[in-house]
Copies of this chain bind each other. A is one copy, B any other.
Amino acid sequence: MSLLAVGTVAFDAIETPFGKTDKIVGGAATYIAWSSSYFVSPVRIVSVIGDDFHMPELHALENRGVSIEGIKIMKGQKSFFWSGKYHLDMNSRDTLITELNVLENFNPVIPETYQDSEFLMLGNIDPNLQMRVIQQIENRPKLVVMDTMDFWMNTQKDMLLKVIEKIDVLTINDEEARLLSGEYSLVKAARKIIKMGPRFLIIKKGEHGALLFHENSVFSAPALPLEDVFDPTGAGDTFAGGFIGYLAKSKDISFENMKRAVINGSAMASFCVEKFGTERLKNLDTEEIEQRIGDFVDLVQFDISLV
């Protein structure tokens, strides 16, 4: 199976109650690629960077079977840069700096060699760009997963809804689900959003886990209770990468298998937050990941049949 990930490859500067970083590598597509690379190969990235980018990070991704052919390098320009500061609860943050730079005139182009990608992950990016990606792909992928955020709901609602109509799985957080649907109850919000097009909806709740909605069913996955959430940056993208990576690996897009994919995504996200940026995602091994999945099983499983 092959996975195409479209999204930002960027620099972040992060401040949390535990410390702060200078410019480090971040971006949705970066996290998606690291995370999914533990499940599926090839992973292909479509993105844009400036010639200021830290190329060893991309080469490290290549070493994990990620194709960077679709990452356009803009000569003489700077990479997208975001800087933010997290509050103590790690669920809220203030954006300190957003420099669009190369993103300002980004026009994603899908290389011919990527056309056979069977799974498509549309990272959080301007819905106009997400739409251009969908339109360029000749054969519809088996599954299209899309992430977005409140900013696009407030500024590009019409185009956002057109994209949402075309995808299979939407991943947003609880506040965004409320904003998009106009419903406070997440059950009501989910019902409305599923009517907008996607057959599956994942509502991410940070430290409270995630809900997967499909038809009249819902699955609840917890987040792993951690001693410390060191840096939540990229946790949602890492979740998405693990989720779609697991589906691509197992070639099964049933609701039952999506539950397992949510657990795999949650496990990957639980690694991500243990260190700054992508650091913790770089040196995982299969055993560690399986151990973490086991922690999730222990965390939620109970045998009610013994009653």
Contact = CB atoms under 8 A, between A and B. Distances in A.
Interface of A: 88-89, 184-188, 205, 208-209, 211, 217-222, 225-229, 250, 256-257, 259-260, 263, 293, 296-304, 306-307
Given A227-B188, A306-B260, A307-B260, A300 B208 contact: no
**Which 9 A-B residue pairs are closest in the complex by CB-CB distance?**
A220-B222, A208-B208, A259-B302, A187-B225, A187-B227, A220-B299, A300-B300, A218-B225, A220-B300
Contacts of A257: 306
A222 B225 contact: no
Majority secondary structure of chain A interface residues (helix, strand, loop or mixed): mixed
Contacts of A306: 256-257, 260
B259 A219 contact: no
11 contacts: A185-B226, A185-B227, A185-B228, A185-B229, A187-B225, A188-B227, A209-B220, A209-B222, A219-B299, A220-B300, A293-B304
A220 B297 CA distance: 10
Contacts of A300: 219-221, 300-301
A260 B302 contact: yes
B299 A301 contact: no
A298 B219 CA distance: 7
Contacts of A296: 304
Contact of A302 (B227, B250, B256, B302): B256
A290 to B, nearest CB: 9
Contacts of A304: 260, 263, 293, 296-297
Nearest to A258: B302
Contacts of A218: 225, 299
Contacts of A299: 218-220
A220 B225 contact: yes
